[in-house]
Amino acid sequence: MGKLGFIGLGVMGTPMAAHLAAAGHDVSGFDLNADARAKLEAAGGRAAADVADAVAGAEVVITMLPDHPQVEQVVLAPGGVLDAVAPGTLLADMSTIRPETSIAVAEAGAAKGIRVLDAPVSGGQAGAEEAALSIMVGGEAADFAVARPLFEVFGKTIVHVGPHGAGQVVKAANQLVVGGVYGLVAEAIVLLEASGVDAGTGLDVLAGGLAGSRILELKRKSMVAREFKPGFRIDLHHKDMGIALAAARQADVALPLTGLVAQLVAAGRSMGYGSLDHSALLKVVEELSGRSSQEV
């Protein structure tokens, strides 16, 4: 690859861009946060002055932004990515946003001769830092083939899942499953402790059986210890559950368990836990049972 533009150097974007720079790619990145730009420079990339500077002359542009309003502003607004890059450029939006926004970006790109992929990721901050992300990609197969070598720099599971917007639908499905498992693990901990059973020992057993999951593997010890330093914040999962419910409405299907999990996540945000890791759903379940962490 030649020059890469990277827009959005948050907790996920910074390590992703750093991996690309470490792999020898010419990476120009931009973020509103000056500290984030400095981190990219320290990792071997170039801190751009603005979006247009970051993507000037780029063959591939990657965006990693919080939500669809930021994607629309950075990509679609006058002076944004689509105005600043040349026809033939490949834009991979790796943000988690509504499928309809991804489709709109792809259509706007096609009108200008710009290839577009929606490629949201799963794995959280740890996955980004360890170059172990799962990447679900929507768009044309030929464009996926071009982008795949770049995705392999920071991802382990990389799958072309369908046309434009399909990546976002798969990510929505991922988030509803993750939220549901966190909620059930939280309930398991509350039940075990309220019954006088050591929760750590009980979850060790669950992790080795049919109930085993990646969440139990990685998070059971920190949940029992009530350590909720964010890898992925409740605020962001709240946004993602809204995307899942909107996608269900668009597809005209009922997702009753997803609706319940979305309410638990919303409750966590309302209780002031939005900045905590999404495993802090345990605090919500505890409060519903009248049991605070201090009582355990």
Q: Convert the pLDDT of each residue in 16-73 to its tens digit.
A: 999 999 999 999 999 999 999 999 999 999 999 999 999 999 999 999 999 999 999 9
**Rounded to 5 degrees, what are φ and ψ at 140?**
-75, 140
Q: Considering the chain, tell me which residue range(s) the CATH 3.40.50.720 domain(s) occupy.
A: 3-164
| Nearest one of 147, 123, 127 to 137, comparing CA atoms | 147
Strands (E), 3-64: 3-7, 26-30, 46-47, 60-63
For residue 231, the model assigns a pLDDT of 84
**Two tokens at 258?**
């997803």
Catalytic site residue 283? no
Q: Say whether pLDDT at 296 is over 50.
A: no
Q: CA–CA separation, 283 vs 292, rounded Å?
A: 7
For residue 2, the model assigns a pLDDT of 79
pLDDT range class, residue 244, cuts 50, 70, 90: very high
**Two tokens at 225?**
């210890």
For residue 215, the model assigns a pLDDT of 95
Are 273 and 234 contacting, i.e. CB atoms less than 8 angstroms apart? yes
Give the list of residues 6+ apart from residue 28 with CB closer than 8 angstroms, or none.
Answer: 3, 4, 5, 6, 45, 46, 47, 48, 53, 54, 55, 56, 58
Give the rounded percent of residues in the chain with a pLDDT score beyond 70.
Answer: 98
Q: Say whether pLDDT at 1 is over 70.
A: no
Question: Quick one: which H or E segment has residue 232?
Answer: none
pLDDT range class, residue 166, cuts 50, 70, 90: very high
Give the pLDDT confidence of 93-134 residue by residue, as tens digits: 999 999 999 999 999 999 999 999 999 999 988 899 999 999
Q: CA–CA separation, 103 vs 116, rounded Å?
A: 9
Are 200 and 221 contacting, i.e. CB atoms less than 8 angstroms apart? yes
For residue 293, the model assigns a pLDDT of 63
Q: Name the CATH superfamily, with its identifier, for domain 169-295.
A: N-(1-d-carboxylethyl)-l-norvaline Dehydrogenase; domain 2 (1.10.1040.10)
For residue 295, the model assigns a pLDDT of 42
Q: Is the pTM of this model over 0.85?
A: yes
What's the fold here for domain 3-164? Answer: Rossmann fold (3.40.50)
| CA 86 to each of CA 18, 26, 105, 113, 255: distance values in angstroms, whole numbers, following the listed order | 25, 17, 16, 8, 42
Given the residues 39, 112, 156, 171, select the one marked as catalytic: 171
For residue 206, the model assigns a pLDDT of 98
Q: Considering the chain, tell me which residue range(s) the CATH 1.10.1040.10 domain(s) occupy.
A: 169-295
For residue 292, the model assigns a pLDDT of 77
Least confident stretch, 154-158, 283-287, 289-293: 289-293
Are 214 and 177 contacting, i.e. CB atoms less than 8 angstroms apart? no
Give the pLDDT confidence of 188-231 residue by residue, as tens digits: 999 999 999 999 999 999 999 999 999 999 999 999 999 999 98
Q: Which residue type occupies 238?
A: H
